[in-house]
Each structure stands twice: as structure tokens, then as C-alpha cells.
Amino acid sequence: MAKIKIDGIDTTVAEGMTVLEAARNIGVRIPALCQHPKLTPFGGCRLCLVEIKGFPRPVTSCTTPVSDGMEIVTTSPTIERLRRTVLELILSDHPNDCMICEQAGACTLQELAYEYGLRENRFAGERRVYEKKDGNPFIERDLEKCILCGRCVKVCDEVQGVEAIDFGYRGFDSKIVTSFEDDLNCEFCGQCVSVCPTGALTGKQWAKHGRQMGVKETDSICSYCGTGCTITYHVKNNDIVRVTSKEDTLNEGWLCVKGRFGYKFVSSPDRLKHPLIKKDGEFREATWDEALDLIADRLKKIKREDGPDAIAGLSSARCTNEENYAFQKFIRAAVGTNNVDHCARL
Amino acid sequence: MHNITVKVCMGTGGIAAGGDEVLAAFNREIAAAGIAASVGKKCSAHQVGCRGLCAKDVLVDVIINDSKVTYIHVKPEMVSRIVKEHIIENIPVAEFVAGDDYHNFHNKQFKVVLSDCGSIDPEDIESYIAVGGYTAAQKVLGSMSPEETTDLIKKSGLRGRGGAGFPTGTKWEIASKQTSEKKFLICNADEGDPGAFMDRSVIEGNPHAVIEGMIIGAYAIGADKGYVYIRAEYPLAVERLKKALDDARGRNFLGKSIMGSGFNFDILVKLGAGAFVCGEETALIASIEGQRGMPRAKPPFPVYQGLWGKPTVINNVETLANVPYIVRKGPEWFASFGTEKSKGTKVFALTGKIKNSGLIEVPMGIPLRQIIYDIGGGIEGDRRFKAVQTGGPSGGCIPADLLDTAVDFESLAKVGSIVGSGGMVVLDETDCMVNIAKFFLEFTRGESCGKCVPCRIGTKRLLEILERITKGEGRPGDIALLEDMSVDIKMASLCGLGQTAPNPVLSTIKYFRHEYEAHINDKKCPAGVCRDLLTYQVISEACKGCGACLRACPAKAITGDKKQPHVIDPSVCIRCGACFDVCKFKAVKKE
Amino acid sequence: MAGLAAIFGSGAMTNSIREIEGMEVIFIIGSNTKETHPVIANRMIKAYRKGAKIIVADPRKVPMTKFSELFLKMRPGSDVALLNGMARVIVKEGLENKEFISDKTEGYEEWKKAIEEYTPEYVSKLTGIPKDDMIAAARLYGKSRRAGIFYTMGITQHACGTDNVRAVANLATLTGNIGRESTGVNPLRGQNNVQGASDAACLPNVYPGYQRVDQDEVREKFEKAWGVSLSPQCGVTATEMMNAARAGSIKAMYIMGENPVFTDPHMHHTVEALEKLDFLVVQDIFMTETARLADVVLPASCAPEKDGTFSNTERRVQRVRKAVNPPGEARDDLSVIIDLSRRLGYDMGFTTPSEVLEEFGRVWPALSGIDYHRIAKYGLQWPCTSKDHPGTEYLYKDGFPKGKVPFVPVSFRPPVEIADAQYPFVLTTGRNLYQYHSGSMTRRVKQIESHAGDAYVEINPEDAARLKISDHGLVRVRSRRGSVDIKARITTRVSEGVVFIPMHYHEAAANVLTNDALDPVVKIPEFKACAVSVEAV
């Protein structure tokens, strides 16, 4: 354990922890753009600079491990001036189009610009201009909005193990590139989208469906494989506009292509909307009462004539515990047979 | 007829000047004259590494019975005369012999690292052994403990020659105390400063000294594997280094149980792909690991967690090349040169507007003035000295009134510059200081790796402001903005590149603020360099109406009848200076 | 999963997903984890970054092999041979866990004799895996005391699936790699709530919580709980239902959220069976291949449209919440069942999902500690036997419910259908990353369809060259049961003589070809190996 002092507060933290983590532990907020709790430190955005007694210059708190006796100052006129300069530099190379940006309201850069009240920019100059040309169906890559924090590169390598993207070129011309700058072709897990602090990476299917205003978030469980990832539905006008996952979930915020981008079937025009009864080989729409009465009559008749074991029920691994419980109870108690199964085997 | 040795300078500079042909010519002429047959092994002509004064290449030493005569600017067609008159008749060819300036250049220097460069054949291990090579390694491995070795280097006061000046012995000591089954020693030969060629010359001229230094260092820290990270743009150095490694392995100076000591060590050569930032040690490590060459934050420092996460010492070429000499001659000997805090000597690449440009080695603490006037021979064309830029693109400019500053780590830092890796660019009255700052920013902006914001975007913005100033579009407040930004970029950047990139801006503003003010307020470039700020005018009284300028003008901006004063139309003039250069009567005025 | 339950006491994953991080060795057999359980694969990669060694055994070079220390490319259906062979190496080299064997197991000596014939040479011949790789894998797994085995349908969907599971269990038992943190045997569930559907007893032989219907005291307990008399007869399994329907003994079926026409093997048989029924009700969200055959189709709701719980592959009961309303008149399945039951004259006794879970907990103690309040943020893993029970991260901490763990000798049997002159290829089936199951959901997502909308058969370049098949060219794949025309994808993922078709595409349905031969114990069909021929069209 290391005894340290942060902004005059004494605290004891585990060795190996970074200064940033230690500060957050005791509720001291340090701004950061490139740091992400699930990824190895990068130290590129320079917003989390702090002063440490005995160090010749400010250091990034996200990369500096604590050591016993450290005295840390997280905010001072110098530190705030540096943060402001860094933010201003980032914004001098960032499109000013928050009004049409998909991430407005959920953008860390926008939040920081607001916090520091940055409207004028001392450094206005040339901005990077790129043609948007990635034809993949899932992920919109707007590299003009990219602040090169490297989170996407790290998550793709460290978490997903895919290494589909990396830094290319140098200096001001640096950009995140795919191999040979082709269209992104990866597992499309969208982990990069989830960690992007700006609007550089967004879901293509999100576009123009709804940002923050009026969007309701509901936590639930993904309905694809058996992993059971916790997801958050973003809903506007009874329509799912995004699926995300929070960092503090058991799946640590990570999802796969199906979980993150495979939600549009819900609003598919193919959905069944009315009970249907087949007559002479054709389906016709019916009311619920008509349909349920018909089912009840037919099942009663078969049960009466052929016995309950002439009836069987197949339930689904897609349905909830409650539905499955009710279904088998229905087959066993209301119909009177144990002919009930589901697709676990298939 | 006695001992005859002919040494032909064949560093990169010597070869470029035709060293190959000169050496071949000597061999041919000597054979034709039948000298080799009559004198036998006592006659040889061979290549040597760079001895510094590349401006006078091809340099050739003819040594007859310890009496050395140096020839300059030797061409193959001069060889037969030298052989005939000097070697056979023992009368040096006076008109080819080097003059005082050559000897002044050398006599004011003090050579440790370069002491055998330019004298031994770098491709012949025997040549190095003959001057005491590998005895230091033998002594250390045979009779000293790693602690004693580290202590010896600590006692010598040797500090890293790559730029930061960290005490080498201390670095070794920290590494030696790390408990790890694997440690690495890396020689940083990724010399990227524009105009710097110290490391290249050392490897080209005496690769075995570097290898021997590495063996000693590896033994001290307990590494069994070393790397030399060297620029791929140094083909000759790479070739000689590889040959030297092979030869050293052949003599069991590398490999298993070196010289029977039980100590195992071998060295791999890794080629850099040309990124300046890979000279930064963490970026260099990333590059060796196969990652993009981007620095990472320190701490942890490489001595704790370096290559593949293992304790790693990274020493510069010159640092390592010092080591065998320190071991051989003793730490006290080494510490007797230099200043209290900066011991020994330092190699500099002296370039720019200087008469004797080349590679020099001087004791630490020597005044700048001595380097420039005594060794360098003063300013080209005897123009007025303006400033000297030291330490490469990260360094600062030192003006004339500080010429008595001592060249050591502390003194240069005090005046806003650095020793750096040893670049020294001399500037004269025809250099515009704003333009000089712009030149270095162009370099650092292009070489920024792009990882951290202040360096990636900050150097770009600094450059943009300097560009607009040199174009006459400077705004009031630009100087203050440059200063503010520079301070912030230095403080907020991740690695040494960004932390020092604004130095040329800050030091030129500090010493030459008036030049900035002239550009911004008066829209004038006092040195007459920034083209957009120049005006060319014909001085009517001096113009003879010869028409030379009119014919030379590519923009057809000049009009005038024969024998009548001509006139330049400033709205058409593109400020190329052709009229100025062509006028024999100094009738064109540049402002 | 019955195979595993018979040995250890439960058929579920013994560890939790989080524990993967702490494993020293991860042995993945018959699971394309990176594509079918991508987020579990993320945990494995996290373990790998911490130094875990991964072994992958599969007929295909699945993406997880990028992280594997050893990849054992095996012939489809040779799992028992491989597992017995590894066990034999472990025994021969003295790597077995002697203490665990003597304290916690039975039948070791007999079993040891039974594996004697699986010499490395013999195993290599049966599996196609180089001998040294198999030995290295055995050593790696055998030396570790913090190892986990992971498998999915690649192990179970064989006529010898139960034997495969037993062989897996034997390997874990031999090394004592079970019953501790980050140490165990882990079948990964393919669908979101397979675990829950099994727990809730949509199974013909058990009541909720795996309580057997053929035991009187159990039946009486449920009769009392439900206030009705219950049948003492075990019911029939899904595959048997189809056979019974074809034979005429089952006359009506009620299918909720399932598409057996598509997902069952030997598709033509399934259609025939369902057409033969007097009455078929299908409750689903889309007009599936099965729904088309129904007499009544009821519009149901999908996961984002309802409240309830799912139990994931690590036995964690997690809260599902309604985010949007279902379209049109579609209703949630629960209210439909309750309504219908009332019309059949039986009152279910609950109306809301939370009441259902409460009743579930009353009849099965393992769930009795779980309620909606407790799982509002994080789910709980059963057994969770009281309101202050924290749930159970890994099973068998305090021993095995059946006392001693049996070693069950199993011997290698080749797949029911093996390649021959007429059908020279072995077809194996599975999923890909983008599509899910029958595709009724994912194939309606435009983006997924545009990226992965084409059916394909994976074939080795050598085979393709020999048969003059070009990449993306159309080929006809035939088995004794049918044929499909499908695009070829030439890849070294599959070995020579093996082809792979993902199950998702109705236009080239793999299950037209697959064999409905069943495992004799658990009645799982042999999806993973059947004989086919391939020709360019």
C-alpha cells in the first residue's frame, strides 16, 4: 500500500494503481479523453496532467503509478492553463458541427469545451479534411472528428484481439487507418464505437434516429447467445434507436455485432401484428378472442377424443423464464401431458 | 625504403569525394612501381574512417617511418605524383599538402572517442586490436565484478552523449540492481538530427569501440542480449558494424562465454525506418518490438521496464565508444577533462556558415568562441557571425554576445540551449532568425509522431504562425502567442521531441526579438531572406542601363531603354533576386 | 446436458464467465467461441493477456486459434479418441490428481483399463492430429490445477454426444480440475435462455428445477402446488414429437417461439410431420417456415417488448425489461398462455412475471432467494437459496450432490454416417459471427444482411482445385437426404475432406442435408457430421 496526498487529502491506495485511479477513488475528478478504465494507459491527450512534488514537470496521471509519499496537485493555475491550451489545440482541428453531430450530448470533447468555455480559438488554422468513404454497413468513421486518443486502436487489439486499425502517417497528418486504407473489414463488434469519446465513430444505423433529447434508456439483457450481456436500449417514439452497454456491467460494456447492431428486426415490417387463422389454406386476420377460443376448443376436443398425450408443446430458449415456466405448467396442468420440450438440443 | 603506410579517408564523406578511386589508384601505382614487392608487408595502403574535416576530402596520410604528411582534396590523377615524388623520392608534393587551417582544426581538439577514427582500418579487427582494442573488455570480464565496472564508470563522471546527459554509471547501477532473468542493452544509433553525423562517423570509423563498450556495459548490468538500433539510411555504417560483429564473434568477443569468462552476450542489428522520433528511447523500444514508433510516458523508465517489459539500458553510440577508453586509461584520466559536472570530451558536428565544417571532439567546457574561430576557422566569406544553433532541432540559438559561453550541459542550458546530441550550426548576418525557427519547426512538425496533442497540433500551429510572419501576415500579439504556446507545448508534451521542439522559437525570440518585430510591424526581413517581405529597386544613379537585369528577369517586371536607368515594377516582381545577382554595378537594392 | 448432470450432478457451466480471467489453461473443444460467444471470447483474450495458455481442438481453424498455444485440427466426430488419448498421456506421465481421484471419485481403475488402447499413434490415426501436439496438449492441461474446459454443440451435436461429454468430464475428473474457482467444465449455451428453458422444465422428464416427473413424491408436491392432478408418464422429446406426429400418435402441437422446420435435422421429415398434425398453433414474432404450416398463428412479442428474466450460460438470472411496445395487436407470450389456460378451465394463479418467478422459487429452492428487487442491477447465479444468499459463482465447492464422481469408460465410435465413395466429404455445420440461429432476427437486419447475407460452404483449396470449384462459384452439396446449391468459400479453415455450412440460411439450409440420427441418451441429432458429395454446378 502507498500513502499519498491528493490535493491535500491523505489517502492510502494499492501500489501499482495510477494517480488518476487513486484520485477518482476519493472523488477527485481529473479530465481525460484518451484514458479508459478498461484499457492500458495511453497518455496522449495530456488533459490529465497533474503536478507531483519533486517531479520536474507536470505528468499525466493516467500513466503514472503511485508511490509511497507522493504529493499530488490535480488543479493549479498552471495545470488549468495547460488543459485549456490542449483543449483549444484539439478544437482548432475539429469540425464545429455539434449541431448536426450524432454524438452531441454524449460527446466528452463537447462537454469539456463547455466546461472550459471555449468559444474563440487562438490557434485557428488548417484543419484535416477527409473524404468519408468507408463502405462498411455498420460503423460510420468520420476521421475529421477523430482526436487520435487511440482508444479504438487499443480496444480492437487488447479486448477484441482483432487489430483491424492502427495509427498511420505522422504528426498533424496522423490518422487511424485500416490496412491499405480499405473499407473497415473486421468483426464489427463496435467496441471502438463504444469507447470513442467524440463523434468520430458512430453506428451507421443510428443516423438521424435520435440523439439525447427525448430518448429513454432501458437496461435489459441481450436476446442472442447464452452469454447474457447487459444492454441498454435507447428508445425514441417507440423505436429502438441505439443499443449500448454500460461499463459497469458483467460484460464490462463489451458486445458483439449482433448485440450492438442487430436490433432492427424488432421494428421489421414483417412482424406479425394480428392473430391469424388458416381457412382453406389461406390465413385471415382474426381477433384474439376468436383465435384463443378456437385453440381452446380444438385442444379440448383432441384431449377428449385422443387423450392429453396426443398433444405436445414446444417452447423456446428465446422466451423468458416466466414464459417457459408458464408454458410447461400450461401443458402439464391445463392440458395434462408431459409432452413438452424446447430446442436446447439444437 | 622503410615502413610505408598510406591511409585514405573512406568515411561516407571520403567515399563521396572519390576515396574508393583514390585508394585503388594508390594500390595500382604502388604495385606498378614495384614498391610492394620490394618492401613487402611493410608497405600498405588502406582505408580509414572519417577524421573530421570532410570539407577537404579526399584526405590521405602518407606515413613513412612515423613521419606523417597529410594531403587534401586528393584526386586519383594526383596519386602517381604522390607515389613517385613522396613515396619513392621522399619529397612530399608541397602543393597538395594540407595547410595551417587543417592542422589548426585538429590541434585545438582533444580526441578520446575519435582517437582511433581516421587512423585504423574499421573493417579490420586486427587494426583495432593493434591499438589496444578489446583489452578493456578483457580486463573487465577477466578481473572485475559488475559492481566494480559500474563504479569505475560512475567515477569517470561519464554522462549520456545522446542529449539528456544522464550519468551513465548511475543508469547501469539501477539496471544492475533489477532482479529479472532477462535484461537488455541497446545502443541507440538512430541519429536523426539534421546535419548531425557524430554517431555515423564513430561507427564507420571505429565500430569495434562501440561493440567493446557494449560488452562492458552488458556485463555491468547483466544483459545477455544487445541491440544496435541504427538508421537504415546509414548503409556504410551498417555494413561495417555487421562485419565488425561477425569478426568479434569469430574472436569470441561475442557469443557464449566470452574470452572464457563464462559471460554470454551477443548483439543484434535493428534497422530504423527513418522516423526521427525513434531516437526517443521508448519509441525506439516500441520500434524494436515491431510496434509503431511512438513514445510512451515515463515513468516507468526503461531501466525498470523497457524492451519486452524487461529492464533495459539504452546508451548512445558516443557514450558506449567512450567506455573502452575510460577502462583502459582509468576514470581519473577521463575525469581530468571537462568541467566539474560535465566530464570528458564531446563530439560535435560543426556545420553552417563556417570555414572548416566537419566533425570535432573537444573537452567539455571549451568556450564556443574557440570552437568557431580557432577550430572552425571563422565565418565563411568573413561575414559577421550572428548566432550558433546547438543541440539540433531541439536546441536554441546563442547570439554573438554569449560566444564566451562554455560548452557543457549546464552552461548551454543556462543560455536557453542544449548540448543535445552535438549538432552545431553556425549562422551569419545573411540568416533570418525567424526563418531559422521556421526551418526547425518544419522539421519537428513533420517528425512528430502524432501521439500527443501539444506536439501533434501545437507544432503545426507554431509553424503556421511563423509562416504567416515570414509572409508579412504577422499580427500584433503573435510574438506573445508564440511564447505562450511554446511554454505550454514544452510543459505538456509527452516526450523529448515535443518538450524541446519550441526551443528554437523561444531562443530566437529571446535574443532576436527585433527581427520578429521587424517582420510583423514593418513587414521587413532585416536579413533579406524572407522573399515575401523583400523589395527590389533599381538605384537610378548607379544603373548603366546594360539590360542584364531585364534579360534575367523571369517575370518581365523590369523595363527600361538601353543606357537608361531601368525600373522594377513591384506588382509584377516575384522577388526571385535574379536582377540583384546579375547586376555588375550593384545598382539593384534589396530591402 | 444430461451427460454432464449424470456425472457431476448438474448440466450447467460450473464456473462463471468472470472466472475465465483467472484460468491458467483454457481448453476449448468443439466451440467456435469467438464467433458464437464473442463476449466470452473477450474474457478468454483477457485471460490470455494475463498469461493463460489456450488449447483449441476443432475440425476448423476457428478464429480463437489466433490466441492458442496449441491448435488440434481434428476430424469431425473424433472427440472421444482425442480426449481418451489425452487422458492416457496424463495417466502415463503421472500427471493425474491422485488425491482428488482417491477422495472424490469412483471407477478409476476400470476406466484406466478402458483407455489403454488409446495410444498416441492410434489417436493420431483416428483424429488426424499430429501425435506430438496431442501429447503437448495433454501435458499442458494435465499439469495445470487451474484449468477450464469449454465446449458447445461441437461436442454435443453428435450421435455420440453423451459419450463426448463423458469423455470431457473424465478428463476434468482425472486432473481434479473441477469444483474450484477458475477451474471446471463449462458447456456454453447457444441461445439466450436455454438455461432458463431447461430450469423451467420445458423438458419432458422433469418438473421445474430438474425434479423428475416419474417420482411419486415429486409429482405429489407439484400436484399440491398447482392444485391439479398430473401425468406420471414422461413425455417425449422434440425430435420424438416429430416422429410421433408422422406416426399419427400426436395430433396437435403448440409451438411457442420455435422454428423446428428450419432448425431440426432432415428438414423434409419435419415438414411432413407438421403437415400430418390435426392442429398446429404457432406463436411467434415472424411468419416462420413453421408458422406457415400452422392452423392458428399468434403474434408474440420479442425481448425488448416484455418484462421477465433470462438465465444465461453461467446460471445467472438476469432482468429483462420492456423498452418498446409490441407492434399492432401482438401480445407478450405470458399473457397469452395465462389467457388460454383460463379458457381451458385452469387458472394459472399468477398474472405478472414477478409472480411467476416467485412461484418458480417456491417449487425450486435453488431459485428461492431470487426476486426482481434483488436482480435490479446485477443478476444472481443459482443456487441462491435464501434472500440473503449471494448466489453461487462456481459449482461443487462443497462436494458433489451425488457423492462420488464416476469415471465412465467411453469408447470411440465413428459418426453414424462416414464418408464413402458416393459421399466423400464430411459436412459439419454451425454458426457464423453475424447471423443467429435460423436467422429470423438477424436476417431482418439490413446491415447484417448486406454484410453476411449469402449462404456459403467452406471448402479446402486442395479439394476445390481437384473439383474445379472456384471461390464464390456455385456448388451442389448432396447427402442421402437432400441437396442444396450454395456458393463456395475456399479456405484453409477446413481440412481436406471436410466442408462446413452455416445453419442460418433458409435458401441453402444445411439441415436439408444433416442426419437425424440421435444420441441414444439425450436424443440430440448428429448435426456435426454427415456424409455429403460436392460438385461444381
Boundary of a domain, candidates A18, A50, A75: A75
Q: Where are the beta strands (DSSP E) in A20-164?
A: 49-52, 59-60, 71-73, 139-141
pLDDT digits (tens, 9 = 90+) for C510-520: 888 887 777 77
pLDDT digits (tens, 9 = 90+) for B214-233: 999 999 999 999 999 999 99
List subunits contacting chain B, requiring 3 or more Cβ pairs under 8 Å.
Answer: A
Q: Number of folded domains in chain C?
A: 3
* Cα–Cα distance for residue pair B134/B253, rounded to 1 Å: 8
Q: Are A219 and A259 in a shared domain?
A: yes
For residue A131, the distance in angstroms to the closest alpha carbon of chain C comes to 22
Taking CB atoms and an 8 Å cutoff, what residues of chain B touch A171? 445-450, 455-456, 459-460
Q: Are C369 and C469 in a shared domain?
A: no
- Distance from the first to the final alpha carbon of chain C: 40
ipTM over 0.95: no
Q: Are C462 and C502 in a shared domain?
A: yes
Q: What pLDDT is recorded for position C1?
A: 47
Q: Are C172 and C208 in a shared domain?
A: no
Across the interface, do B449 and A174 touch by the CB < 8 Å criterion? yes
Contacts of C105-109 with C-beta under 8 Å, sequence gap 24+, read: C105/C173, C105/C404, C105/C405, C105/C406, C105/C407, C106/C404, C106/C405, C106/C406, C106/C407, C107/C406, C107/C407, C107/C408, C107/C409, C108/C407
The predicted model gives B3-25 an average pLDDT of 89
For residue A145, the distance in angstroms to the closest alpha carbon of chain B comes to 14
| Residue C372 forms contact with A (CB below 8 Å) | no
Q: Are C199 and C180 in a shared domain?
A: no
CATH number of the structural domain spanning residue C527: 2.40.40.20
For residue B313, the distance in angstroms to the closest alpha carbon of chain A comes to 20
Boundary of a domain, candidates C188, C206, C224: C188
Domain range for C480 is 425-536
Say if C394 falls within a structural domain.
no
Q: Number of folded domains in chain A?
A: 4
The pLDDT of residue C57 is above 60: yes
* Cα–Cα distance for residue pair C33/B513, rounded to 1 Å: 66
Burial class (CB in 10 A: 0-12, 13-18, 19+), B223: buried
CATH number of the structural domain spanning residue C23: 3.40.228.10
Q: Least CA distance to C260: which residue of chain A? A: A343
Residues in chain A with pLDDT values less than 70: 344-346
* Cα–Cα distance for residue pair A217/A214, rounded to 1 Å: 10
Across the interface, do B464 and A126 touch by the CB < 8 Å criterion? yes
Say if A140 falls within a structural domain.
no
Instruction: Please give the interface size between A and C, counted as residue pairs whose CB atoms are below 8 Å apart.
Output: 465
Tell me B406's DSSP state.
B
The pLDDT of residue B41 is above 60: no
Q: Are A289 and A343 in a shared domain?
A: no
Q: Are A292 and A341 in a shared domain?
A: no
Across the interface, do B452 and A46 touch by the CB < 8 Å criterion? yes
Alpha helices in C180-327 (DSSP H): 194-199, 216-226, 238-247, 260-263, 267-276
Q: Are C355 and C256 in a shared domain?
A: yes
Q: What pLDDT is recorded for position A346?
A: 47
Q: Are C105 and C155 in a shared domain?
A: yes
CATH number of B125-331: 3.40.50.11540
CATH number of the structural domain spanning residue A241: 2.20.25.90
Taken in order C237, C239, C240, C246, the sign of the CA dihedral is: positive
Say if A316 falls within a structural domain.
yes
Q: Are C239 and C349 in a shared domain?
A: yes
Of A33, A209, A216, give the one whose Cα is nearest residue A110.
A33
pLDDT digits (tens, 9 = 90+) for C383-416: 999 999 999 999 998 888 888 899 999 999 888 8
Boundary of a domain, candidates C188, C222, C257: C188
CATH number of B445-521: 1.20.1440.230
Say if C390 falls within a structural domain.
no
Query: Which amino acid does the sequence have at A237?
Result: N
Where do the CATH 3.40.30.10 domains begin and end in chain B?
Answer: 4-98
Boundary of a domain, candidates C188, C215, C243: C188
Q: Where are the beta strands (DSSP E) in C461-504?
A: 474-478, 483-490, 498-502
Q: Are C168 and C214 in a shared domain?
A: no
Say if A113 falls within a structural domain.
no
pLDDT digits (tens, 9 = 90+) for B521-562: 999 999 989 988 988 999 999 999 999 999 999 999 999 998
Please identify which residue in the block is written with the cell numbers 570535432. Answer: B360
Q: Are C180 and C78 in a shared domain?
A: yes
Contact C338, C332 (CB under 8 A): no
Across the interface, do A319 and C193 touch by the CB < 8 Å criterion? yes
In this prediction, residue B192 has a pLDDT band, given cuts at 50, 70 and 90, of: confident
**What's the mean per-residue pLDDT of chain B?**
91
* Cα–Cα distance for residue pair C195/C188, rounded to 1 Å: 10
Contact B22, B29 (CB under 8 A): no
pLDDT digits (tens, 9 = 90+) for B115-173: 998 889 999 999 999 999 999 999 999 999 999 999 999 999 999 998 888 999 999 99
Say if A345 falls within a structural domain.
yes
List all residues 6 or more positions away from B458 whose beta carbon is below 8 Å from its beta carbon: A85, A89, B485, B488, B489, B493, B498, B501, B502
Domain B534-590 fold = Alpha-Beta Plaits (3.30.70)
What percent of chain C is modeled with pLDDT above 90? 74
pLDDT digits (tens, 9 = 90+) for C216-267: 999 999 999 999 999 999 999 988 899 999 999 999 999 999 888 887 777 7
Q: Identify from B278, B304, B451, B497 which residue to disrupt to test chain A contact, counting A C-beta atoms within 10 A and taking the largest count.
A: B451
Domain range for A71 is 2-75
CATH number of the structural domain spanning residue A25: 3.10.20.740
Q: Are C462 and C434 in a shared domain?
A: yes
Domain B4-98 fold = Glutaredoxin (3.40.30)
3+ Cβ–Cβ pairs closer than 8 Å linking C and B = no
Across the interface, do A339 and C348 touch by the CB < 8 Å criterion? no
Q: Give SS3 for B231.
A: strand
CATH number of the structural domain spanning residue C371: 3.40.50.740
Instruction: Please give the interface size between A and B, counted as residue pairs whose CB atoms are below 8 Å apart.
Output: 108
What percent of chain B is modeled with pLDDT above 70? 99
pLDDT digits (tens, 9 = 90+) for B248-302: 999 999 999 999 999 999 999 999 988 899 989 999 999 999 999 999 988 889 9
Name the residue among B451, B492, B494 with its Cβ closest to that of A82.
B492
For residue C405, the distance in angstroms to the closest alpha carbon of chain A comes to 24
Answer yes or no: CATH 1.10.3720.10 is held by domain B345-428. no
In this prediction, residue B2 has a pLDDT band, given cuts at 50, 70 and 90, of: low
Q: Are A14 and A56 in a shared domain?
A: yes
Say if C404 falls within a structural domain.
no
Q: Identify from A72, A83, A86 which residue to disrupt to test chain B contact, counting B C-beta atoms within 10 A and taking the largest count.
A: A86
Q: Least CA distance to A44: which residue of chain B? A: B452
Where do the CATH 1.20.1440.230 domains begin and end in chain B?
Answer: 445-521
Helix axis angle for C120-127 and C131-143, nearest 10°, is 110
Q: Are C368 and C448 in a shared domain?
A: no
Q: What pLDDT is recorded for position B39?
A: 65
Which region, left, alpha or beta, applies to residue B303 given φ > 0 means left and ψ of -120 to 50 means alpha? alpha
